[in-house]
Structure 1
Amino acid sequence: MAPISIETAPAAAPIDELKNLSLKSAPVTTKPQWFSQTGRPESEYPYKALLPIWDFGTKYPALTEFTHADPGLEAKKHADPRAFLSAATVDELTPRFGSEVRGVQLTELDAAGRQQLALFVAQRGVVVFRDQDFVDADPAWHVRDWGTFFGRPHIHPVSGHPKGIPEFHLVYRAPKAGEDTYYDAFTTTLNGVRWHSDVTYELQPPGLTALFLYDSPPSGGDTGYADQREAYNRLSPSFAAYLETLQVLHSGVAQAEVAKKHNAPPRREPVENVHPLVRRHPVTGEKALFVNRQFSRHIVGLKQEESDAILNLLYDHIEKGSDFQVRLRWEPRSVVLWDNRITAHNANVDFDNLGFRRHGARITPQAERPFL
């Protein structure tokens, strides 16, 4: 019988020898923190001048119609429409919807870069840019340079804004209850879910929208985004064709009434406008559902029960479609850009009563009147 060859593992090193090993430590990186995490006194908060005010005595005239030319149209003429991303790292959050970008400074983009940016956001729906100096730029630049490049900056009729900067729609929750007019989302409902597209009651609702935070809880407060194009694409062809024949009334009246109840009377009279239930993007040509539970009220020409049945079906479809949604976690010095024409979003209020402030600004340029 041939001898059996047995391989044995080397003997383990004695404990004393292991103690003498020199282990190379991994490099230590400092993670950026929100002000709320630093433990610094409130008197040192660097964005006090950008805290919200509600100027109850101010009244704005009705908005007038204007001609909008989307910058993304020019990018389609460029030899490389994504040249602005040449030195960037781009991660797709899902195959069709949502991207995360590092290595591009939005404040440094020239006109061609901004045009390409508009096209990229229109294609991806929502894009988060990390490690930005955008938050510390001059607010006048935010409005007159950045905002006006993408459309006419919208002034919200009821929200708080920094003194002298009405074009900033502030996202704000004070660290202690009773210090602001933000309603408690869980007083009368089981959750704070409020899927919507911004101010769709306007004759010309927003297009490329920017949101950035000055301060936030260390966790929580994520923002969810839903792709209204893919929501449309999932529908049966015959049903989608019928929806394309319909118009929907969008209303700002309920929002104004809520503001009045919280002692924040609207600065501009609420409006209602009729938009197509399905709209087409002016740059990509893609179709998208254009309804949301917050501002859509009634399908024109249908009886109430018929309208409610269709709208509620579409609301549920959009809000439950986790396979065409993304959920973005906020980090310090992030800027989120989305195309309001083809997306819906929801702010997760899961940090209530934990003693953290949430403070951010939205720049909301208006775009064209919706069309199909």
Structure 2
Amino acid sequence: MSVLRRTYHDGAIHFQKDSDEKTDGILTVSKENLKRLKYPEWAPTWDPKDDHAFQNPKPFKHVDRGFAGDAAFKSLRDVEGVKFRQISPKLGLEVEGIQLSSLTDQQKNDIALLVEEKGVVAFKKQDFKNQSFEEIKNWGRYFGPLHVHPTSGAPLNHPEFHMTFRRGSKKEQEKFFADRLNNVSWHSDVTYENQPPGITLFAMLQSGECGGDTQFLDMFEIYDRLSPLMKEKLDGLKAVHTSKEQVSAAKQEGGIERKDVIDSIHPVVRYHPVLKRKSLFVHRGFTRKILGLKTEESDNLLLFLFNHTAACLDAHVRMQYEEDTVVVWDNRRTLHTRTMDWDSEDIRHAFRVTSIGERPVGSQEEFESWTPELEEANIKLTDHYINLSAEEYFNEVIAKERK
């Protein structure tokens, strides 16, 4: 049996039956916490009418706005008073003087390319959260269709948003650390989807003076540090990503399941079509097995890759938030983890809006030859491939690819 099953303790996004409640038939946070919100219209809810009301998107050809971006970023650098500050040489950027809510299309294209090149960008002094729900969703749709999270809280009647909410109770932190030594959980969002997120925006609504930062890892750098022989061995391998454990944890707490559980098969090494670079695309959050290997072989290889990833804190940045900060990142080339490092009574309340990206591929040739029709056929074989023995998978898939 695999040792990689994960137990979820993600009260920041899930309904919590011991602290939240039902109001007018809607699951939401307690009345006491609702009174503490600066933006109550953004309160996380879990509407029973949304249970299994959504389907995982069918394959589509993604149009990456980064392809239309200007490598000189002239439309952004020419903004009067704009300031750019590197956070580290290879990952992370802070920007002041650009208002995300009022960008031209060319500026959005340049933002897409900037985020892809820097991995994660923090935009300071933003009025983004004061826009309407529809205005924010339309902004996100410019970069791709919006993802609907299967289990997280969302503003009522707006399931396209994913809410994170720390309830401001020391008991919440005590409960979390009752059977855990740390809160570090490196992941890329919802990679169990057949087409996971590309560009993601995360906007802070309410927070304390400090704490609750998001940490990011550069998976380009983490891949590049592997030996040529290890890269050669990993190239072409496929891994299973699953939503099973996340959904199970949410349901146990009394929450909802907006979509059916999904398993997807993705390359262990992913090709970025805009930047034409490769990154490691496995993580503890949702990656469970490498196909074609026996359980112990897969576990040990994944544990090596997970440990290598977690040890690379010299390929890491820590993004700090103020209540007018918006952070935008590229889910394809970064992993991230929240930081539970404070024991105050402060509420931490934020929203995420996520555009769906391309089907993960391992090479430029695979990217250029991909079609939605071929993908539909591949999806139908997902369960078949997952249930093959190591020898059966080798004979049916790997041996044929080598011919």
Secondary structure of the 1:218 match is coil
Give the equivalent residue in structure 2 for 1:92.
86
Q: Deviations over 1:137-191 (max 9, x none)?
A: 1111111x2110011100000001010110110011112368x9x9943122111
Deviation of residue 61 (structure 1)?
A: 3.3
Which of 254, 259, 268 is 1:268 aligned to?
Answer: 259
Q: What letter corresponds to residue 277 of structure 1 in structure 2?
A: V
Root-mean-square deviation (CA), in Å?
1.8
Which residue number corresponds to residue 236 of structure 1? 227
Q: 1:68 maps to which residue?
A: 62
* Amino acid in structure 2 at the alignment position of 1:172: F
**Quick one: which amino acid aligns to residue 141 of structure 1?**
E
**Equivalent pair of 2:34/2:40 in contact (CA under 8 Å):** no
Give the drift of 1:83: 2.7
Aligned-partner residue type, residue 140 of structure 1: E
1:299 aligns with 2:293: no
- In the other structure, the counterpart of 1:356 is 346
DSSP-derived class of the 1:256 partner: helix
CA distance in 1, matches of 2:150, 2:65: 26
| Compared CA separation, residues 164 and 307, structure 1 to 2 (3 A) | same
Note the C-alpha offset of 1:305. 1.2
Q: Is the 8 A contact 1:52 1:163 kept in 2?
A: yes
AA of the residue aligned to 1:163: L
Aligned to 1:194: 185
Q: Where does 1:34-49 land on structure 2 (aligned, <5 Å)?
A: 43=35, 45-49=37-41
- Structure 1 residue 44: deviation in Å? 7.6
> Which string of whole-angstrom CA distances, capped at 9 and with x for unpartnered residues, describes residues 317-351 of structure 1?
11121110001111120000000001000000122
Answer yes or no: is the 8 Å Cα contact 2:116–2:275 preserved in 1: yes
Query: Which ranges of structure 2 fall in alignment gaps of 5 or more residues?
Result: 1-32, 363-403
Structure 1 residue runs of 4+, over 3 Å off?
A: 41-46
Please give the alpha-carbon distance, in whole angstroms, between the structure 2 residues aligned to 1:222 and 1:248: 30
Q: In the TM superposition, what whole-angstrom CA distance separates every residue of 1:22-59 from its partner, at most 9, and x where no partner exists?
A: xxxxxxxxxxxxxxxxxxx9758441111011113422
Partner of 1:56: 48
Q: Are 1:85 and 1:104, in contact at CA under 8 Å, matched by a contact in 2?
A: no
Aligned equivalent of 2:374: none
2:275 alignment counterpart: 284
Structure 1 residues 169, 184: closer, same or farther in 2, change over 3 A?
Answer: farther
1:139 aligned onto 2:133? yes
**Match for residue 249 of structure 2?**
258
| Letter aligned with residue 359 of structure 2 | R
Is 1:217 the counterpart of 2:217? The answer is no
CA distance change for structure 1 residues 184 and 305 in 2, over 3 Å: closer, same or farther? same
Q: 1:164 to 1:200 in 2, by over 3 A?
A: same
Q: For residue 13 of structure 1, what is the aligned residue in structure 2?
A: none
| Structure 1 runs not aligned, ≥5 long | 1-40
Distance 1:163 1:57 in 2: 11
Q: Which sits farther off after the overlay, 256-265 or 169-178?
A: 169-178
| Letter aligned with residue 215 of structure 1 | Q
Q: Structure 1 82/200 Cα, relative in aligned 2: closer, same or farther at 3 Å?
A: farther
AA aligned to 1:221 is: G
Match in the other structure for 1:172: 165
Aligned AA for 2:208? P
**Cα pair 2:115 2:328 within 8 Å, conserved:** yes
Matched residue, 1:111: 105
| TM-score, normalization by structure 1 | 0.84
Quote the Cα distance in structure 2 between the aligned partners of 1:137 and 1:204.
Answer: 28
Larger radius of gyration: 1
Opposite residue 236 of structure 2, the aligned amino acid is: T
**Distance in 2 (alpha carbons) for counterparts of 1:241 and 1:341:** 20
Return the TM-score normalized by structure 2.
0.78
- The number of residues matched between the two structures is 326
Q: Is 1:123 matched with 2:117?
A: yes
Structure with bigger helix share is 2
Contact 2:34–2:43 (Cα < 8 Å) also in 1 = no
Question: 229, 233, 238: which one pairs with 1:247?
Answer: 238
| Partner-residue secondary structure (3-state), 2:45 | coil
Q: Is the 8 A contact 1:185 1:191 kept in 2?
A: no
Comparing 259-268 with 331-340, greater Cα deviation is found at 259-268
Distance of 1:305 and 1:127 partners within structure 2? 39
